[in-house]
Amino acid sequence: MKATILKFRKRKFSIINKKFLSFSILLLCLNSLQAQDFSDALRFSQTDLNGTARFRSMGGAFGALGGDFSAISVNPAGSAVFANNAAAITVSNFSSKNNSNYFGTTTTEKDNTFDLNQLGAVWVFKDYENTSKWKKLTLALTYENTNNLNNTIYSQGINPNNSVADYFISYANGISEGTITNNSFTQLDYAEQQAYLGYEGFFINPTVAGGNQYVSALTGTGDFYQENYISSNGYNGKLSFNAAAEYDERFYFGLNLNSHFVDYNQRTSFYEDYLDAPNHDPNTGVQASRFTNELYTYGTGFSFQLGTIAKVTNEFRVGLAYESPTWYSLNDELRQTLLVDCVDCFEDTTSFYADPNLVVVYPTYRLRTPGKWTGSLAYVFGTQGLLSFDYTLKDYSNTEFRHSTDVNDQLSSLLDTSNEFRVGGEYRIKAWSLRAGYRFEESPYKNGNTMGDLTSYSGGFGYNFGDVKLDMSYTFAQRDFQQAFFAQGLVDTATINRKNNNISLTVLFEL
């Protein structure tokens, strides 16, 4: 890989950077809401199948069963099924494998995380004097990591047509050359900053002096060697305050008030080399480049849930639950670095590394993720076992950013209603329990090629020691999707096949 050097057209800018290589700036960028895009919307709208080992091993099909801490996250009436006070803790090992195919070149990247992903406690208050049909009241407090955001994707290949210059052109067109040359980087909004980077980095030139339309300044005309590395980590957690009641030993009603927490970091590093591109001139112009973006998103949210479970007979049960949209208040911080190896681009041929370490802090923005409905059926075979089925309906086209009409129109036109099916079973042999599950979730996109359907299989076992229960589960899930390197301009995609493996261990104490 070539050494990368950043050179700018303006001597003034280069001198400033030489003097302040380690100077850090925080900039409040009030003119741009660029942080709001599809990736934010889907990242915080989708949830993974996390929670207790028993819940995971049965595919999450617990909406009509209850009596499990993660079942409360599906149907809040489920806490009223607990017979006694209880507490539980779950630890998980989460591993992912991403196979990438970019213009025929295949690569693989793996990631592994160990996490304490579930905690919960429930307090049961019974009507021991039998003076009312309201037989039981329960209060519960639970925490779950609803989505493990740790992931690594690496793609490489030769793009026959498009370069990172196309990314800069897509932002620069419509912006006058004077706006770029007469303002400092900190005076520009996001689109103008991207145009500034492309212009000062020798990727683009105006079609006419002083104009507002641009063309690529690269001498190569195709077959650009490209690498893209995406590394992310963080979590989307949910703290739930639950209250539920049992009526006449047949009906259960519950309410959850949920507080959501987001902490997410993503670093993307895009490298491009022009050495083998047709018509490339190795004696002038850009020879190689690396464009790095580091995004940090954090914030909080609120949602609520309502649910009910009914015992139609002692064996047959039905459940219905509604989860409201989650109203998020989020903040983004972005740092960008452009490194360029350029020959004969600047009159001062002294090589230097220029990085002002600029962090762009965007204004707080609001995101509303879609709500969902869950209908459930379960049949309990006495003390021998059970079968359970959940169906969830979620309309992703209702995802919405406040005060961002253009993005919302795109979300509404490209996203769709997703159906999810979960099936689980349990068979008991004395103190042992054997479990298995299946989960299928449709793509949130109208075009299923953008993101495919998710398929998951799970299994596990448990042992009842009396007041202590030990459960273990294994879950496998896979999904295909298209990974674009940039949001616009250079939008060629790598096809990613993602496979997730999870092993969870839960210890439950009856108090």
3-class SS string, 253-292: EEEEEEEEEEEEEEEEEEEEECCCCCCCCCCCEEEEEEEE
Least Cα distance to 70 among 52, 92, 86 occurs for 52
The residues, ordered by sequence, that sit 6+ positions from 297 with a Cβ below 8 Å of its Cβ are 35, 40, 234, 262, 263, 264, 265, 266, 330, 331, 332, 333
Q: What integer pLDDT is reported at residue 184 of this predicted model?
A: 83
Count of H-run helices and E-run strands, the chain: 8, 22
Q: What integer pLDDT is reported at residue 200 of this predicted model?
A: 87
**Distance between CA atoms of 117 and 70, rounded to whole angstroms?**
11
Neighbours of 282 (CB within 10 A): 10
Q: What integer pLDDT is reported at residue 464 of this predicted model?
A: 97
Neighbours of 511 (CB within 10 A): 11
Q: Which amino acid appears at position 235 of this protein?
A: Y
Q: What is the pTM of this model?
A: 0.89
Q: Half-sphere exposure of 369 toward its Cβ, with a 13 Å CA cutoff?
A: 25
Q: Which amino acid appears at position 467 of this protein?
A: D
**Distance between CA atoms of 83 and 370, rounded to whole angstroms?**
33
**Distance between CA atoms of 432 and 212, rounded to whole angstroms?**
72
**Distance between CA atoms of 438 and 200, rounded to whole angstroms?**
53
Domains, the chain, with CATH or none: 11-163+218-510 (2.40.160.60)
Q: Which amino acid appears at position 139 of this protein?
A: L
Q: What integer pLDDT is reported at residue 148 of this predicted model?
A: 86
List the end-to-end C-alpha distance of the chain, in Å, as a whole number.
61
pLDDT digits (tens, 9 = 90+) for 208-265: 999 999 999 999 989 999 999 999 999 899 999 999 999 999 999 999 999 999 999 9
Residues of the chain predicted below pLDDT 70: 1-37, 346-357
Q: What integer pLDDT is reported at residue 355 of this predicted model?
A: 55
